[in-house]
Structure 1
Amino acid sequence: MQDVLRQLQEDIQNRRPVAYTALVETRGSTPQKAGARMLVYPDGSQAGTLGGGCVEAEVKRRALRLLDEGNVELLTFQLDDNYGWDDGLICGGRMKMLVDPIRPDEDVDYFRILDESLVAGTPCTEAVIINSESAGGGCEGDRFLVDADGHCLASRGSVTSPPAGLIESLKPILERPRAYVAGGVSFLPFLQRCRLLIVGGGHVGQRVAEMAADVDFDVWVVDDREEYCNLDRFPRAKRLIVGDIDTALSGLEIDHRTFCVIVTRGHNHDEEALYHLAETSASYVGMIGSRRKIKLIFDDLLAEGISREALQRVHAPLGFDIGSQTVPEIAISIVAELIAHRNLGESPSKFRTNNVLGNVE
């Protein structure tokens, strides 16, 4: 999703006409949920997807017309015989789309401010009026960019200030990880970006980094071997740290937005990394390995003074238990757990591997 918004900013900077489309409300069974975004270009090409070929094709058709007219519209699609028969998408649900044509000669400050927030990684919410009567003002299609404290950063539409009811319906940022509708307004949150610190640049670390970047983690990699920790292997990493693990992790910035994955090449390096990370304020710390290896490491760290409470928070073995065998499968299980922890605040118990600390005496 953020790739689409980065592409939008590039299009705006290059003064390229584009129609910004967003799925702002769904009801019932639909092929995509609110928050999906797609860009439509005058030549009919696109970036991103709204889900569902039949609906997407109709949105593109209407978007191309609106690019000529310059009007913002909300489009509603009922997924019945009218849409989806040929494609087998008769879900029975409803999808509401915002279509906003952006032309080179208009004010685009709204998108500039949105891009600045995304680049900075600060949480914000795009609020779209979908029922002006229920919202208590404005017009359908009006949008407001609201920060974590409820302050309006930017607006796009008929009014510059959001209706009072909009702010009243805004949930605290920690309670709005997913899109929701309240008081005639669709709220589309952009969560605070999280950093993923990967200790170990081997095969598993490399594949985890690739997948994590795809789902909007800022990836940092630590390894003591330059031949494993370099831009060729980690082209999308925000930071690469080559050096002794003890030195590299000592004093490294670790906060509540940091997720840590320990996947080094050996028992000693894993233990050294966990020694430095277990008692930090990291949101998530996970370590790969067999249950026997993990128990030995936990025993050693308890003896070295690491608290039992800190070790209880460590996800070890890390990743969801999906019977992983290959490197790609292991990476999928790890990244899935990272996403669940980031988006839901916890990992669903039915997929969790049990922490072995209970066996440590």
Structure 2
Amino acid sequence: MQHQADFWAHCIHTLKRKHRLALLVVVESQGSSPGKAGAKMVIAADGARFGTIGGGQVEHDLAAQALDLIQQPDSCSRLFCVRHDGSGQVWGGRQTVLYYPCALNDLSLLQDIQGAFQQKQARQLVIDPEGMSVNKAIAETREILFTDSANVGWTYQELIGVVKTAYIIGGGHVSLALSQVLALLDFDIVVIDLRDAVQTMQDNKFAKRKIIVPY
């Protein structure tokens, strides 16, 4: 998994240059579906991709559909419901993927999302058929919540701005390997060591901060 702040920074950078983006978000998954709720991917108007919603043929097909939709000036957000049982791949289950077209008028909103992660301020991201918004998080805000009913329609809510931090004491080879694993899980990593000339400490590109301090 890419770091959330990096993902949204990429969206902002690409939107400024390409003017339109297709955002794909896994909003719900069941069984052994490869894409888990919260996984994200963006497709630029030229077909360039960033992020993942699980990979494989399903991701390829959804990205192709999103690319077609983003070429249409009147395209609107929608849901794709995918069953993996007949996909020809090893996993089963199903997943629901949200498509949301981002245009230049969404730029300030994307910057608000990125800012929430940079400042580590809890916010609630909401996407529904009416659009996308960022609200102040409350105590009851769940990490991810997707609802879909015939009466009120669908809504996707995600808690953003909450950054998980892992502190690793020692900068040796185990620390380096652990840092790589934790980076995949979207942690901010702080490595602490009392030595100032450890090669593995210097090679650790996954750590957000490296602290040399006696302990």
Fold conserved between structures, TM > 0.5: yes
- Give SS of 1:24's match: strand
Is 1:187 matched with 2:157? yes
2:77 counterpart letter in structure 1 = E
Higher strand share: 2
The Cα shift of 1:178 comes to 4.1
Give the unaligned 5+ runs of structure 1.
130-139, 150-170, 246-361
1:76 counterpart letter in structure 2 = F
The Cα shift of 1:33 comes to 2.3
Cα 1:242–1:5 change in 2 (3 A) is same
Q: Deviations over 1:119-159 (max 9, x none)?
A: 11222222222xxxxxxxxxx2522222223xxxxxxxxxx
1:97 counterpart letter in structure 2 = V
RMSD of aligned alpha carbons? 2.9
Residue 172 of structure 1, aligned match among 113, 130, 140: 140
Is 1:98 matched with 2:101? no
- Give SS of 1:99's match: strand
Cα 1:67–1:233 change in 2 (3 A) is same
1:44 counterpart letter in structure 2 = G
Cα 1:220–1:51 change in 2 (3 A) is closer
Q: Deviations over 1:26-78 (max 9, x none)?
A: 35653322211111133434222222533322222221122211322313224
Number of the residue aligned with 1:39: 42
Give the unaligned 5+ runs of structure 2.
none
- Give SS of 1:55's match: helix
Aligned partners of 2:117 and 2:48: how far apart in 1?
25
> Number of aligned pairs?
207
- Give SS of 1:6's match: helix
- Give SS of 1:232's match: helix
1:99 counterpart letter in structure 2 = Y
Cα 1:244–1:11 change in 2 (3 A) is same
Number of the residue aligned with 1:241: 211
1:18 counterpart letter in structure 2 = L
Contact preservation (8 Å) 1:21, 1:99: yes
Structure possessing the higher relative contact order (Cα contacts under 8 Å, 6 or more residues apart)? 2
Contact preservation (8 Å) 1:179, 1:188: yes
Residue 148 of structure 1, aligned match among 137, 140, 150: 137
Is 1:76 matched with 2:47? no
Aligned partners of 1:80 and 1:192: how far apart in 2?
31
Higher helix share: 1
Cα 1:142–1:102 change in 2 (3 A) is closer
Cα 1:200–1:231 change in 2 (3 A) is closer
Contact preservation (8 Å) 1:125, 1:147: yes
Contact preservation (8 Å) 1:24, 1:128: no
Aligned partners of 1:51 and 1:236: how far apart in 2?
22
Cα 1:178–1:229 change in 2 (3 A) is farther
Query: Which residues in structure 2 correspond to 1:175-324 (within 5 Å)?
Result: 176-181=142-147, 184-190=154-160, 192-228=162-198, 232-245=202-215
Aligned partners of 2:114 and 2:167: how far apart in 1?
24
Moved over 6 A (4+): none
Q: TM-score, normalised by structure 2?
A: 0.79
Number of the residue aligned with 2:68: 65
Number of the residue aligned with 1:112: 111
Number of the residue aligned with 1:24: 27
Q: TM-score, normalised by structure 1?
A: 0.50
Contact preservation (8 Å) 1:72, 1:98: no
Is 1:49 matched with 2:52? yes
- Give SS of 1:62's match: helix
